C-alpha cells in the first residue's frame, strides 16, 4: 500500500477530505519520529511498538573490491508488532 492509497483509505474510513487525511497521516508520522528522538520508544497498544535502537560501529566489506570498510555507529528504527496486529494477519 502506498501513502496515497493509505490517505484515500483514511479519508473514506474517517469521513475526511483527502487533504485532512494527508495532514493527519503526516502528523502521526511526525509524532512517532519526535517520540523516538525524545523518548526512544513509541507504543500504540495493540498495534505495536516503535523503538530507536543503537547499532554499534562495525567493520564491513565492499562487495566489489572485498576491501574492509568501517561502518559508523548509528541509531536505527525498529518495530515490534502488537498482539491485535498479529491476530489480524492470521
Q: What is the CATH number of the domain that holds 54?
A: 4.10.520.10
Domain shared by 46 and 89, yes or no: yes
Co-location of 58 and 86 in the same domain: yes
CB neighbour list of residue 3: distance below 8 Å, 6 or more residues apart: 25
d(CA 48, CA 32): 12
User: Looking at the structure, do residues 49 and 26 belong to the same domain, yes or no?
Assistant: no
The pLDDT value given to residue 86 = 94
Q: What is the pLDDT of residues 31-67, one digit of tens each?
A: 999 999 999 999 999 999 999 999 999 999 999 999 9
Residues 32 and 52 in one domain: no
**Number of domains, the chain:** 2
Over residues 17-42, the mean pLDDT reads: 96
State the average pLDDT over residues 24-34. Answer: 96
- Taking the C-alpha atoms of residue 53 and residue 38, their distance in angstroms, rounded to an integer, is 13
Of the candidates 59, 50, 57, the one whose C-alpha atom is nearest the C-alpha of residue 78 is: 50
Radius of gyration of the chain (CA): 18
Residues comprising the chain, all counted: 90
Residues 81 and 48 both lie in one domain: yes
Domain that holds residue 9: 1-38
pTM: predicted TM-score of the whole model, two decimal places? 0.79
Q: Over the chain, what is the mean pLDDT?
A: 96
Amino acid at each position: 500500500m502506498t501513502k496515497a492509497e493509505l490517505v484515500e483509505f483514511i479519508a473514506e474510513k474517517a469521513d475526511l477530505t483527502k487533504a485532512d487525511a494527508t495532514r493527519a497521516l503526516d502528523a502521526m508520522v511526525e509524532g512517532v519520529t519526535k517520540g523516538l528522538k525524545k523518548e526512544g520508544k513509541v507504543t500504540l497498544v495493540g498495534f505495536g511498538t516503535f523503538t530507536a535502537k543503537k547499532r554499534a560501529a562495525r567493520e564491513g566489506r565492499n562487495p566489489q573490491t572485498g576491501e574492509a570498510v568501517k561502518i559508523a555507529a548509528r541509531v536505527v528504527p525498529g518495530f515490534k508488532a502488537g498482539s491485535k496486529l498479529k491476530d489480524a494477519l492470521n
